[in-house]
Structure 1
Amino acid sequence: MEPRETMALLQGQAEIWQHLYRVVDSMALKCAVELRIADIIHSHGGPITLRQIASGIDSPSPHIPYLTRIMRLLVRKSIFTENHHPPDGGETLYGLTQTSRWLLHDAELSLVPMVLMRYHPWQLAPLHHLSHCVKEGGTAFKKAHGCEIWDFASKNPEYNNIFNDAMACTTKIVMAAIVAEYKDGFGCMGSLVDVGGGTGGMIVEIVNAYPHIKGINFDLPHVVAVAPEREGVSHVGGDMFDTIPNADAIFMKWVLHNWSDEHCMKILKNCRKAIPKKGGKVIIVDVVLEKDSNDLFGETPMALDLCMMAYTAGGKERTELEWKKLLEEAGFGGYKIFKIPTLTSIIEAYTE
């Protein structure tokens, strides 16, 4: 075998090893969130020693050697910093990075609920059934849990809360990007329905930023049943496949990617019925998949696409051509895509 071929083969082996153990990286990340390591460091106002981290963990006798090894990996992954030679010659100090700042529990913008949801055994179990789905079709979530995800959430309050908390945290992140980049998008409407709005986190952010808008949070009855009262927002329970409350515009964040094209067609046609024939629009916040993208978020959209395959019956991430075809077949006259500084984009669909 030629030396170049030997080296390429060795490189391939190394990459498979990296793929094999990325799950351990993920579990170490979950561990850091559960132990609140980022919060402990943040509470001290700067880098601290391992023993100071341990003293902040909710345990009478934290195991320091285990913590040392976990921190070593998380430093390697640039989630925390490590200073081996502090100026005073003392112990090694561990600090936050721009990555670990997203792991603060009480921060206004935080990915903690998403970490806890994504790595929960209920969420991981369906991913073990991807090969079964390829062989025989069906939904991985149903193979793992015996029912579809929405039925599981309606029957399992704990899962419902975990899921809602994860959606609420992403709502804040996406809304911050929308407010910064989509400033004129909400200016000319008097009312707005957030379809699949969960507990109302997104619509209240919009209403707070644009107080002239009458906000309607629309979701399944079991979801809005636990939604808190929010000023300027009314909660309406129902089924988007049957009817959607009337408004000047419709807003949907991470809704359509949960459904097949056929289901999306029903939702979008109901959206058209609910908005004015002239001047009405649907604001879709979802991923626009680019196969060869060098985007900051890298391969995350493709991984998210496989999650949609695992958790939903027909859900997927869509390319611009797929969005265009879907909107045209649903009867919309045109569309425009706005890129915003987060994982998703904004797709405006117009009635004329």
Structure 2
Amino acid sequence: MDVHEELLRGQAEVWQFMFAFTYSMALKSAVELRLADIMHSHGCPITLSQLASRIDSSCPDISHLARIMRMLVYKGIFAAHHPSDGGDETLYGTTHISKWLLHDSELSLAPMILVQNNQWLLAPWHYLSQCVKKGGIPFRKAHGSTFWDFASQNPQFNNLFNEAMACTTKITMKAFVSHYKVDGFNNIRSMVDVGGGTGTALAEIVKSYPHIKGINFDLQHVIATAPTHEGVSHVGGDMFDAIPNADAVFMKWILHDWGDEACIKILKNCRKAIPEKIGKVIIVDIVLQPDGSGLFDETRLVFDLLMMVDLSGGKERTELEWKKILENGGFPRYRIIKIPALLWIVEAYPE
């Protein structure tokens, strides 16, 4: 590649980076308009006019829809089928990507798309460079409070966030339950899910292993909206004060919210909550592979930036960083179990 071609390629790539937000905004609009749901319920490829007629609007703008669909088809989110019989109307259908946009599917990322592209979570990104220069947390600069205080004082945001966490939990737990084999639950008669949200993750475990007594532990305002799950009791409290006693502590996507010092404090409380011999902590979280080329490695790096923008001290960790906080938290022995998901399993033992 000569210097001029290389320069031109660089320019093209900068344009792509510059306008990458348009992809997520088009994706958000597809979820809000329930385009994947309409196509799915139709049962076969659908025309643009049929698609527009089923949008929840008395006067949908078909020309706007056509242009959004053109981009979504280009990115592979939907498929376009051009008629072979000489007809004029293109037919649109779903793809392996759009199946993750369905609202009522057991496995869906629709709630996560809505919350991550909401104005509340987009605003802090405008403070990213300012925080490099002067320090601070972008979320606090944008909203004047911490992420968790904002959620507790804003029911609409709290519900959006909880729904997003519940949908990602279902996806992760499907991989977790199928790959964390039965021996992982030997000798476990009780398990506390620290920061368990509305109890979705623990409910999946108890459903597969009904001999386990489940304790869903989170802040009071979180469990206030939690539904009833068979075999699961909801307990309100603060993991920095104390954690309910159980044979095992489960934490999914919790420690990445906090800096090392806070994580060590949480882990020490976990250590106090479990038995000396059979007790263990089961962590389901991101393990960074900065030079990795796996399916989720780039997304894991994105989440590290998300943690920096939204939370005080939050970050994703490499294996060496996990080892350090585990040892300092009272868990000198651990193993990492890779599963086909964004998150992996870090199983830690007190001796």
1:177-213 deviations in whole A, cap 9, x for unaligned? Answer: 0111112222430000000000111111110010000
Matched position secondary structure for 2:59:
coil
Rounded to whole Å, the distance in 1 between the matches of 2:63 and 2:187 is 59
Rounded to whole Å, the distance in 2 between the matches of 1:86 and 1:338 is 49
Q: Which residue of 2 aligns with 1:306?
A: 305
Q: Which residue of 1 aligns with 2:280?
A: 281
Q: Which amino acid aligns with 1:40?
A: I
- Percent identity of the aligned residues? 64
Cα drift, residue 331 of structure 1: 1.7
1:202-255 deviations in whole A, cap 9, x for unaligned? Answer: 111110010000000000011011111221111000000000000000000000
Rounded to whole Å, the distance in 1 between the matches of 2:195 and 2:12 is 43
Q: Are the counterparts in 1 of residues 280 and 349 from structure 2 also a CA contact under 8 Å?
A: yes
Rounded to whole Å, the distance in 1 between the matches of 2:148 and 2:306 is 15
Q: Are the counterparts in 1 of residues 258 and 312 from structure 2 also a CA contact under 8 Å?
A: yes
Q: Are the counterparts in 1 of residues 288 and 297 from structure 2 also a CA contact under 8 Å?
A: no
Number of corresponding residues: 350
Q: Which residue of 2 aligns with 1:206?
A: 205
> Which structure 1 residue ranges, 5 or more long, are not aligned?
none
TM-score after normalising by structure 2? 0.98
Q: Are the counterparts in 2 of residues 86 and 93 from structure 1 also a CA contact under 8 Å?
A: no
Q: Which residue of 2 aligns with 1:65?
A: 63
Q: Which amino acid aligns with 1:26?
A: S
Q: Which residue of 2 aligns with 1:54?
A: 52
Rounded to whole Å, the distance in 1 between the matches of 2:3 and 2:187 is 62
Q: Which residue of 2 aligns with 1:27?
A: 25
Q: Which amino acid aligns with 1:269?
A: K
Q: Does 1:141 align with 2:146?
A: no
1:103-156 deviations in whole A, cap 9, x for unaligned? Answer: 000001100100000000001011111111111111111000000000001111
1:48-90 deviations in whole A, cap 9, x for unaligned? Answer: 1101100110011111111000000000000000011245735
Provide the alpha-carbon RMSD of the alignment.
1.0
Q: Which residue of 1 aligns with 2:227?
A: 228
Rounded to whole Å, the distance in 1 between the matches of 2:321 and 2:234 is 32
Q: Which residue of 2 aligns with 1:186?
A: 185
Q: Which residue of 1 aligns with 2:43?
A: 45
Rounded to whole Å, the distance in 2 between the matches of 1:143 and 1:342 is 33
Q: Are the counterparts in 2 of residues 29 and 74 from structure 1 also a CA contact under 8 Å?
A: yes
Q: 1:190 to 1:86 in 2, by over 3 A?
A: farther
Rounded to whole Å, the distance in 2 between the matches of 1:339 and 1:188 is 22
Q: Which residue of 2 aligns with 1:257?
A: 256
Q: Are the counterparts in 2 of residues 258 and 315 from structure 1 also a CA contact under 8 Å?
A: yes
Rounded to whole Å, the distance in 2 between the matches of 1:214 and 1:88 is 63
Q: Which residue of 2 aligns with 1:79?
A: 77
Matched position secondary structure for 2:233:
strand
Q: Which residue of 1 aligns with 2:160?
A: 162
Q: Are the counterparts in 1 of residues 268 and 329 from structure 2 also a CA contact under 8 Å?
A: yes
Q: Which residue of 2 aligns with 1:196?
A: 195
Q: Which amino acid aligns with 2:221?
A: H
Q: Which residue of 2 aligns with 1:318?
A: 317
Rounded to whole Å, the distance in 2 between the matches of 1:52 and 1:182 is 45
Q: Are the counterparts in 1 of residues 203 and 230 from structure 2 also a CA contact under 8 Å?
A: yes
Q: Which residue of 2 aligns with 1:91?
A: 89
Cα drift, residue 333 of structure 1: 2.5
Q: Are the counterparts in 2 of residues 289 and 302 from structure 1 also a CA contact under 8 Å?
A: yes
Matched position secondary structure for 1:153:
helix
Q: Which amino acid aligns with 2:300?
A: P
Matched position secondary structure for 1:299:
helix
1:273-314 deviations in whole A, cap 9, x for unaligned? Answer: 000111111000100001110111241111110000000000
Q: Are the counterparts in 1 of residues 289 and 297 from structure 2 also a CA contact under 8 Å?
A: no
> Which structure 2 residue ranges, 5 or more long, are not aligned?
none
